[in-house]
Amino acid sequence: MSDDPRLALIAATLRDVPDFPKPGIVFKDIHPLLQDSATFRLVLDLLEEHARALRVDRIVGIESRGFLFGAPLADRLRVGLSLVRKPKKLPFTTIRETYELEYGTDTIEMHVDAVKPGERVLIVDDLLATGGTARAAANLVTRLGGQLAGCLFVVELAFLSGRARFDGVPVHALVRVD
């Protein structure tokens, strides 16, 4: 972890919840971070700093916690926000991407007009674990003709190696858990 005291503050605000959602998993709960306005604003300030450097045209937020960071970030950058959701949650025509999980598969969708060809797109979510969902979102972006400018997360569980799914794409997380 960095020596930056701002990042240490963010890391200290995260709550570990053992055995959620199943035994053996230690869930990184961002709710305490969201409940403290100063820490939430700090997170948004740091995300904005990284996002500005990428000069993006659009933010793509991943359901559901990615919406919490993606929406205010899109507002700060004065760019559009597009949503990636679970199947049958979006009202218009969608494209979908199915991806592998540890046991089985999952699917996400995006509106067919969510990204315009050539747009520089930044994917935003709260947490990078194995990278399956974010990689699937990236595939949707590129299928619509978007240019993946990067991926931005609040927390990265580095021991799960999700970053490896994004060879050549800038990936940044504020807090890294080894």
117-174: pLDDT as tens digits: 999 999 999 999 999 999 999 999 999 999 999 999 999 999 999 999 999 999 999 9
What distance in Å separates the CA atoms of residue 13 and residue 124, rounded to the nearest whole number?
Answer: 20
- Tell me which of 6, 63, 65, 76 is the catalytic residue: 65
pTM: 0.95
DSSP letters, 76-114, are: HHT-EEEEEBSTT--SS-EEEEEEEETTEEEEEEEETTS
Given the structure tokens 């569980």, which residue do they identify? 157
> What pLDDT does residue 104 have?
82
Strand pairing report for 26-29 and 15-18:
antiparallel
Reported as a single tens digit per residue, the pLDDT across 68-111 is 999 999 999 999 999 999 999 999 999 999 998 777 899 999 99
**Is 65 an annotated catalytic residue?**
yes
What pLDDT, on the 0 to 100 scale, is given for residue 71?
98
User: Catalytic: 102?
Assistant: yes
Residue 90 · residue 110 · CB < 8 Å: yes
Closest CA to 40 of 67, 74, 69: 69
φ, ψ of residue 160 in degrees (nearest 5) = -95, -5
For 119, the 3-state DSSP assignment is: coil
What CATH number has the domain spanning 55-177?
3.40.50.2020
pLDDT at position 2 over 80: no
Residue 54 has pLDDT above 80, yes or no: yes
Three-state DSSP class for 169?
Answer: coil
- pLDDT at position 1 over 60: no
Write the Ramachandran bin of 50: left for phi over 0, alpha for psi from -120 to 50, otherwise beta: alpha
